[in-house]
Structure 1
Amino acid sequence: MKKIALQSSALCIVAISSAAHAQSSVTLYGIIDTGLAYVHNSGGHSTQITTMSGSLAGSRWGLKGSEDLGGGLKTVFQLENGFDPTNGTLGQNNRLFGRQAFVGISSDKFGTVTLGRQYDPIVDQVQPLTGDNYFGAIFAPPGDFDNYDNSIRINNAVKWVSPSWGGVTLEALYAFGGLAGSVGSGQTYSASAGYSSGSFSAAAGYMHIDYGNARLTTRPSGSADSLFNSAVNSAYSSARSVNSARVAGQYVISSVTLGAAYSFTQYNPDAMSSFSTSQKYQNASVFGIWQVLPTFSLGAGYNYTKTSGDSSAKYNMFSLGADYNLSKRTDVYAIAGYTHASGENGLGAAEAVVGSFDINSGSSSQAIAVVGLRHTF
């Protein structure tokens, strides 16, 4: 009897352990994307040939998982590292998990709340409806001044994502600046709403970034990364805050996807800024993607950017892309973009910049072409 009882107990422990294991999951994943690039007009030089990482998708590896807590609740987490495969260095200003690092609780009824370094709600809901979602940086506005290509992440963030209610999903985020004695300094807040039904999808959102009290810290600082990565907007890196509103929609017609987007972004000064009049950026974009074959797609896009306020510039940018899947996990691609700039950017004559590559041209025009290989795991 003792032997039977011991065997039964052992079987119960194994069954419980197996059930607990089945209710938890951890996934290792990643992307390696690198290619050969040609740049016409780079830093005042007419020709540059170099290797380039992340032209279609940022190279990364990560861990994500969940644990079922019962009653419709589960714990979720994600750690994601960005890196440059051309030289092995860490991305996102040398951060180990610079792309994402968060933990949270998910409810079937009430949605998901996460805490940590995360994307803002506009990136979650608006970006997937733009050309950037298909062909990456080459389809982003010059200099990514409105975070079209998620150049920034948000630290110290608390984010809520709703369940889908009849095709409608809501998101909200608040991030603490963390500066003692000045609670609002460095804070970020954002909200968005998205709708999807059949072939049509649309989303809109708003984000406010406070880049810190200049008497207490050096700008730009706070919960959000710096947006000032090229000559398109670097004259306004002393801005106290940035407000950005974006809207996008797309429609799928058989093998063709058509989309359009608009953004309004304002860089606001205070007494400590190097400029005194708010600088405004407006961007309108359109794109089309043709799924020629299940393994082959083509894309084209156009961005028009106009600035006003402290300075005035115009940017016309054209983008092309082609992608061919060698397998379910490996594809080869070719992308190209051209930008022409006119007017003033706050530092002098406006410089052309293609997409979010953030390569200052030193000229009124710039062209970039990349042939690359991407592998996912």
Structure 2
Amino acid sequence: MELHDVWFVLIAVLWIGYFFLEGFDFGVGVLTKLLARDRTEKRVLINTIGPVWDGNEVWLLTAGGATFAAFPEWYATLFSGFYLPLLIILLCLIVRGVAFEYRAKRPEERWQTNWEHAIFWTSLLPAFLWGVAFGNIVRGVKIDAQKEYVGNVLDLLNPYSLLGGLVTLALFTFHGTVFTALKTVGDIRIRARRLALALGLVTAVLALGFLVWTQADKGDGKSLAAMIVAVVALAAAVVAIKLGREGWSFALSGVTIVAAVAMLFLTLFPNVMPSSLNEDWSLTVTNASSTPYTLKIMTWCAGVATPIVLLYQSWTYWVFRKRIGTQHIAPDPHAPDPRADGAHATDAAQ
């Protein structure tokens, strides 16, 4: 296997890791409106991902950096052609991080409500737009003989990619709902189970349609195997959550994401960005890659750094593994104290 093939696989692994991890915290962000009944429950949801959401985003930075270094032509064409949707995603990720940190910095109801709206929308939009982006990459876009994108934004809004966006939104929300059931106790856990069951059925219908469409248009034997794994794992995840086995359901919803994203990359290879104008104008692992020397240096660096990052992130999840519930949330320091008119609680919990 050539080094450019190895780096195609490594970049696929990075995107799989990003969607597995960031997928559930996007889902939890969406749940702040779908599941939470009051501010305390919103705080519970946010606290389930509070220690890990920023670490999850490292996978995106690494995937983008690896693409830039290993396949500069792919990076250039992708970021110029998909400039607007990727800019929206970037802005959402910036505002989302600020919202997590600033939401509880001031006592005003309007201040906190606005930041909670921001968390919801900046979780929903990227979850949808990532599906649109990858749908277009797999489907093929208007790339000319100079390897440049010559389409426009409206070309990206086609039925296949829009269905892909709905699939990632539904799948990430289901993944996040199962994660919520796994990480919480009490009434919110029970309601998360019920919501996960309903979302799982909707996700199964959307995902089956998208994956079958992909397989019929671009697939081969390997992608078919990945599709079967994704479909079976999703069905099993729905059954597991119905039985109250949140851990198994979360693992299986993760397998669904892994298999589905793997299927997309399998249908791409050896292309990295197909041209819908002329197959000969497509970007491939060969014509879009860096020099062998660059790839060799990157491989040595990745071999040293990747295990360290994985160990650190695994340790973070282990430290923050316990369940939480509304009983673990300290009273709002700005809420009226029922023991005295006009008094306020003094707890400073976020």
The interval holding the TM-score normalised by the smaller chain is under 0.3
**TM-score where L is the length of structure 1:** 0.22
Does 1 or 2 have the higher relative contact order (CA < 8 Å, sep 6+)? 2
Structure number with higher strand proportion: 1
Which of the two has higher C-alpha Rg?
1
